[in-house]
Amino acid sequence: MKKKNSLIKKLVVLLIIICAILAYLLIPSVNKGMKHIVSMFASGDFMVVKKFVASYGGYAAVVSFLLMILQSVAAPIPAFLLTFANANLFGWWQGAILSWTSAMAGAAVCFYIARILGRDAVEKLTSKGALKQIDVFFKNHGKNTILIARLLPFISFDIVSYAAGLTSMSFGGFMLATGIGQLPATIVYSYVGGMLTGGAKYFVTGLLILFALSALIVLIRQLYKERQKKKNAELNLES
């Protein structure tokens, strides 16, 4: 019975994905809309994202929520632009709530896609190399991986969610760690995003990039030290 339910879930998820791909390929308006969304995020300008979301009027919050889920599934799309846009459009604390809840929904979608479809499907949605890097992170940090990863802005939110779905981690534990770990960054980004205007956005974007690169250097150094420690331990065992 359990195996049958698993098969049904897999077929449903595959059917949804196939329908989405067919809609993109066969419906011109969907194809054009998706290309516009990708180019919008690729611009790196949160004001462009804000303008797009605001154009939907009373449905702006719903569109923003769906965009956050979309960017979660499509890992290369940056989420912080949408967080900035939400704060600038709805106010910092209302924007923070919207960004946080929609990010949680996106994380849940990624987690269940991975859990239902398995590693091969996740590698196609993300990349084999990126997934291997997160695997190493899980191996080194164990049960604290999700919390640590959520607190580090340069680690892909989406790939971590996918990777977690491939482990034996419970959904409740995953969501709790994600919620706690994601909250500080969401509050900071939203507070800053609510104040950004004109040239300030480029200054803050530069600072965020600098912070991410600095944190990345620290992480690489830490991983290198852990790897060297492991090698030394193996050499000591051999001798």
Q: By the 8 A CB rule, do 9 and 117 touch?
A: no
- Asked if the structure places residue 27 within a domain, the reply is no
Number of domains observed in the structure of the chain: 1
pLDDT band at 22 (very low <50, low <70, confident <90, very high): confident
Report residue 17 as tokens: 């994905």
Burial 34-56, CB ≥16 within 10 A → b, else e: eeebeebbeeebbbbbbebbeee
- Asked if the structure places residue 79 within a domain, the reply is yes
Q: Where are the alpha helices (DSSP H) in the chain?
A: 2-26, 28-42, 46-54, 60-73, 80-90, 92-117, 119-125, 128-141, 145-151, 157-165, 171-193, 200-238
Q: What is the pLDDT of residues 104-160, one digit of tens each?
A: 999 999 999 999 988 888 888 777 777 888 888 787 777 778 887 777 766 778 888
Q: What is the pLDDT of residues 83-110, one digit of tens each?
A: 888 988 998 889 999 999 999 999 999 9
Q: Please give the residue range of the domain that contains residue 51.
A: 43-238
- Asked if the structure places residue 224 within a domain, the reply is yes
- Asked if the structure places residue 180 within a domain, the reply is yes
Q: By the 8 A CB rule, do 164 and 135 touch?
A: no
Contacts of 205 (CB under 8 A, 6+ apart): 44
CA distance 98 to 73: 18
C-alpha distances out from residue 67 to 38, 48, 145, 164, 205, Å: 11, 14, 26, 22, 21
CA distance 98 to 106: 12
- Asked if the structure places residue 192 within a domain, the reply is yes
- What pTM was computed for the model? 0.77
The type of residue at 1 is M
Distance of CA 112 to the CA centre of its chain: 14
- Asked if the structure places residue 33 within a domain, the reply is no
- Asked if the structure places residue 173 within a domain, the reply is yes
- Asked if the structure places residue 99 within a domain, the reply is yes
Share of the chain above pLDDT 70, in %: 79
